[in-house]
Amino acid sequence: MEDYRKYLDPQVLARLEGLPLRARRIVEGYVSGLHRSPFRGFSIEFAEHREYTPGDDLRYLDWKVFGRTDKYYLKQFEEETNLICHLVLDSSESMTYRSDRAAMSKLDYARSAAAALAYLVLRQQDSVGLAVFDDSVRALVRSSSNPSHLEQVCGAMIQAATNRKTATGTVFHELAERMKKRAIVAIFSDLFDSAEHALAGLKHFRHRRHDVVLFHVLDPAELEFPFEGTTRFRGLEGAAAMVVEPRGLRQAYLTEFGRFRRRLREGCRGRGIDYVLLRTDKPLDVALTGFLTARR
Amino acid sequence: MPFPIWIPLAFGLSTPAMLWWLAAAAVPIAIHLLSRRRYRDLPWAAMEYLLAAMRRSRRRLQIEQLLLLVVRTLIVVLLVLAMAEPFLERDRLVAAAPRGARTHRVLVLDGSVSMDYRAAETSRFAEARELARQIVAASPQGDGFTLVLMSTPPRVVVGTPALQPAEFLAAIDEIVMPHAPADPAGTFARVEDLLQEARRQQPALTREVVYVLTDLGRSTWLPEEAAALRESDFSDRVARLASRSELVVVDLGEEGAENASVIDLAVTDPYVTVGASVSIEAQLKLFGRQTRRDQTVELRVDGRRVAGRQLDLPPGVAVAVTFDHRFDAPGDRIVEVRLEGDRLPLDDVRRMVVAVKPAVRVLCIDGRPSGESFAGAADYLAVALAPEDGRPGGVVEVDLVPESALAEIDLAGYDALFLAEVAQFTSGEAQRLAAFVHNGGGLVFFLGERVLAERYNRELGGERPNGVRLLPARIGGVVRRDDVQPGPAAWLDPMEYEHPVVAVFRGREEAGLLTTPVRRHLRLEVPPDSAAQVALATAAGEPLLVTESVGRGRVALVATSADPSWTAMPLWPSYVPVVQELLAYVVAGQAERQNVRVGEPLEGSLPLQGIDANVLLRPPLGATEPLRPRDEDGRAAFSYGETYFAGVYTVEAGPPLDRVDRFAAQLDPAESDLARITPEALRGEVFGGAPVTYLTHWEQPSVAEEGTRPRRGSLAKGLLYGVLALLLAETLLAWRFGHYGT
């Protein structure tokens, strides 16, 4: 059997042309080993009972069985095609950043991850939709379960322009209003916006009872600030340039950035949102595994 | 022995040229500025957090950068300073010169007597000399040195700036403290001349420092009687000097110094003859605050102690001590009065030369000799001069000769010359008389009928061009007093008995001086601005006896005759005392000739053979010097001006003369007063406010400190340690701040 895992390495993926191909490589390299979909529907056909183990969702506890047997059983359902996954991709200018340590820009990495997810969902005959945004929604692809839909989704991701600022708050509110049916909303963004705005938007998704997963895409340089020597940082998204001595500033930057991430992470946890950090220098499977395993 | 000077530290550099490298201190700053211009350019997405970090850390970063910059600059500065070999001077005497400047250092040593004061083992003058050596030793190579002794007259020891310290140090070693008063005005004038000369000859010596090493004696800087410094342009001169040169006064004196001194020594008798008892009077004075008890004072003659006494010396009062002594042999005898030694030993002894004669020899010249007894003009006079002639104990020997002998007789053998009614003098005779008087001889003129007043005035009164002036008054016409009624109008006026010749008659009116009948006399006209003194006059105010000092001798002019032709005085009881007093008065000049103040010239004469003789002068200090006598009126005259030391000067004439003359030079008693002026007075009253650096700090080092304490400390090692520490600190700080880059 061909070792697909190598295709999960961003270095390798970066060399692959075309998002659908990348998506297939990612999924087949890793996810195809799964016998069950990691996405479980909410109101689909009953499949079997399973004994309760602490931590299981109490919503699926079968009270009737409990009434009869005094034992806790969970109802398990077979997957259905009515699962919808909305991919929300940030294509603002800040997402184009790529440091020397990463093989792909954050945007490319996010596209790969999103495409992989889309492929995975479509392979399970579920629906995938797409929204690309920066300071407003730039592209919108309606959800569909047609396998050929992957091409359309990937095409829309690639064509999205990348020269605007991020405005997560307003965009998330707008999207939350548009998404009528309950769905899984997977957001790929660096969220270089006010954390409060972003969290407010995310809260709106939750309010609409969407299952929200935030893929926080960050470059390793943004996480570690490894620069040496006098450097002029030219701000993306129209920010001013600044000449600094990075070593002297590292601690302060890491503190500031850590505070931002902590705010986001805690905000997500408080709102029942999955927070997944995607480092662009890490193999995609590591990030996805963490997420998929958690959701199984 | 390192000298005990403790003066605030001063900084200097051995290799000041290295300081050019200080420019390298700009390198870290330049690198810092350049590094801000050379940078990588990176796009950056998370700008918001970078900006926030920047806002939070800007101040800290700036401080860190500044700190690092300072440390790095300091490393360069300290390294360069270390290479310039800095040192700390214990004294500010040799203050660091500006880069590359060579200095002309003029050392002025106070040579006044008070500099001989010994607070410890060494005198202030020795301290000054040691200090001078140290100034030389501490000065950088290339400096020039001039040495001037502040004395009277000022002595330039090294005039042209000496560039070789060794030569100059040798000159310092050879310098001997003189005993003359100091002459600041004259000294500073010389210093100014020397500086001007040096500026022309050695223009490379761009900086000038004048060191005055003095004890700030009041008698030197603010003499009370003369006020010479205040009246002269001294302060102007100092201001001029200070405008171009740095003036450093080092105070070597201390407050409260006390001193006892023999301030005067004299023989009170008019002349000293063998076997006669004479009184020797010394004046002692204590300059201080507390009475000194039981001070021993002794009299020595030719070095042998002949008498001693103990007495108390109250402060500030002159105490007279009188010794009676008989000299047993003729000749120049050295009389010395000696006090118990104190811290200023120089003035504890005072010496004088006393010429002890077998007898006082008087030459009496008769202008109207007669074969008959008491018929000549000088017969009465000769008797009055030596009333005891021929008898034992007679101290005056009179040679009575006629006028004609005046041209040939050797006057040098006589102490006094009495001329009675000599009609006139040739100019040659006048010259001889003048030489006699200038050498200390006494000269007395009695006038009379035969006297040609015009010739007197012409030959002896200075009325001939380049002629001799011996007469204390101009001689006019005859004044007849025959018709004056007896009574007060006929009496004589003793002029308050102020003159020494008549002072003996004070309170002794019965001795008959006032009632002496004078029938006739020649009018004496005393010039208004003359120093002549009238001892006796008529009631009408006509002077009868006028005296004046001429050279070292004295001249008396008596307006009337020495015999009874014009006056009854020779028959009067006052005659002998008057003549004796006249003799005593006119011969006193001889003692003055042999006893001078330090600094005054010695003058004497030998018989004419002395011209060819080997004549040597032995000063009290220093080497014997040959003298070159010159022919002056048939005598071999000599003079010697360099009487810098107190003590006995001996003039030895070899064959064919084989004779010894002695002189004594005595200290100026004003020099014994150790009173000082304050530095403020020096600055203000003396220097007129000119900028002066005043240094005082003197301290006797303990034995332990001596030798272990280098006078000059190198700082290079310490600076290098500093560089090392800074390098470590820089590494540490850079690591801590995370700035490896700049």
Say which residue, B227 or B563, is predicted with more confidence.
B563
Q: How far is A26 from chain B (nearest CA, A)?
A: 27
Q: How far is A231 from chain B (nearest CA, A)?
A: 5
In our burial notation (b when 16+ CB lie closer than 10 A, e otherwise), range B591-620 reads: bebbbbbbbeebbbbbbbebbebebebebb
C-alpha radius of gyration, chain B, whole number: 38
Contact B40 A232 (CB under 8 A): yes
- For residue B369, whether the previous peptide bond is cis, meaning omega lies within 30 degrees of 0, is no
pLDDT tens string B371-410: 888 888 888 998 888 887 655 556 788 888 998 888 888 8
- Tell me which chain A residues have a C-beta less than 8 angstroms from the C-beta of B54: 242, 244, 249, 252
Say which residue, B96 or B706, is predicted with more confidence.
B96
Q: How far is B23 from chain A (nearest CA, A)?
A: 26
pLDDT at B225: 59
Nearest to A230 among B38, B46, B57 (CB): B38
Nearest to B50 among A219, A237, A253 (CB): A253
Assigned token pair, B519: 């029938």
Three-state SS at B408 = coil
Range name among A43-47, B453-457, B487-491 with the lowest pLDDT average: A43-47
Taking a C-beta distance cutoff of 8 angstroms, is the pair A106, A63 a contact?
Answer: no
Q: How far is A191 from chain B (nearest CA, A)?
A: 10
Q: Which residue has the tokens 């002026």?
A: B677
B40 contacts chain A (CB < 8 A): yes
- Chain A, nearest residue to B61 by Cα: A248
Interface test with A, best of B33, B34, B37, B47 (most A CBs within 10 A): B47
Nearest to B741 among A190, A245, A253 (CB): A245
Interface test with B, best of A253, A255, A280 (most B CBs within 10 A): A253
pLDDT tens string B420-443: 999 999 888 888 898 888 878 899
- Tell me which chain A residues have a C-beta less than 8 angstroms from the C-beta of B31: none
What count of other Cβ atoms lies within 10 Å of the Cβ of residue A265? 16
pLDDT at B521 exceeding the cut of 90: yes
Kindly tell me the burial class for residue B463, based on how many C-beta atoms sit within 10 Å of its own C-beta (0-12, 13-18, 19 or more): middle
Contact B46 A244 (CB under 8 A): no
Q: Which residues contact B640 (CB under 8 A, 6 or more apart)?
A: B601, B602, B603, B617, B625, B627, B649, B651
pLDDT tens string B653-692: 888 888 888 999 998 888 888 888 888 888 888 888 888 8
B52 contacts chain A (CB < 8 A): yes
Q: Please give the Cα distance from B438 to B427 (Å, whole number).
A: 16
Cα dist from B284 to A207, B287, B340, B533, whole Å:
124, 10, 11, 30
pLDDT at B710 exceeding the cut of 70: no
What count of other Cβ atoms lies within 10 Å of the Cβ of residue B53? 24
Three-state SS at A205 = helix
pLDDT at A19 exceeding the cut of 90: no
The residue among B161, B182, B49, B172 whose CA lies nearest residue B111 is B182
- Tell me which chain A residues have a C-beta less than 8 angstroms from the C-beta of B69: none
The residue among B393, B439, B401 whose CA lies nearest residue B418 is B401
Q: What are the φ and ψ backbone dihedral angles of A231, each rounded to 5 degrees?
A: -135, 140
- For residue B656, whether the previous peptide bond is cis, meaning omega lies within 30 degrees of 0, is yes
- Chain B, nearest residue to A166 by Cα: B45
Q: What is the largest CA-CA distance in chain A?
A: 73
Cα dist from B357 to B69, B120, B287, B290, whole Å:
95, 45, 37, 43
pLDDT tens string A53-112: 777 777 778 888 888 888 888 776 654 446 788 999 998 888 989 998 888 889 888 888
Contact A242 B54 (CB under 8 A): yes
β-sheet bridge partners, residue B364: B400, B418
- Tell me which chain A residues have a C-beta less than 8 angstroms from the C-beta of B39: 229-232, 243
pLDDT at B146 exceeding the cut of 90: yes
- Tell me which chain A residues have a C-beta less than 8 angstroms from the C-beta of B47: 233, 235-237, 239-240, 242
pLDDT at B529: 86
Q: How many CB contacts within 8 angstroms connect chain A with chain B? A: 110
Cα dist from A269 to A55, A184, A199, A238, whole Å:
16, 16, 11, 32
CA atoms within 13 A on the CB side of B283: 11
Taking a C-beta distance cutoff of 8 angstroms, is the pair B251, B696 a contact?
Answer: yes
B59 contacts chain A (CB < 8 A): no
- Tell me which chain B residues have a C-beta less than 8 angstroms from the C-beta of A163: none
Q: Which residue has the tokens 């997810």?
A: A117
Is this prediction's ipTM beyond 0.85? no
The residue among B202, B221, B225, B215 whose CA lies nearest residue B257 is B215
Q: Which residue has the tokens 């009173």?
A: B675
- Tell me which chain A residues have a C-beta less than 8 angstroms from the C-beta of B58: none
Contact B54 A229 (CB under 8 A): no
pLDDT tens string B80-105: 888 887 776 554 445 544 556 788 99
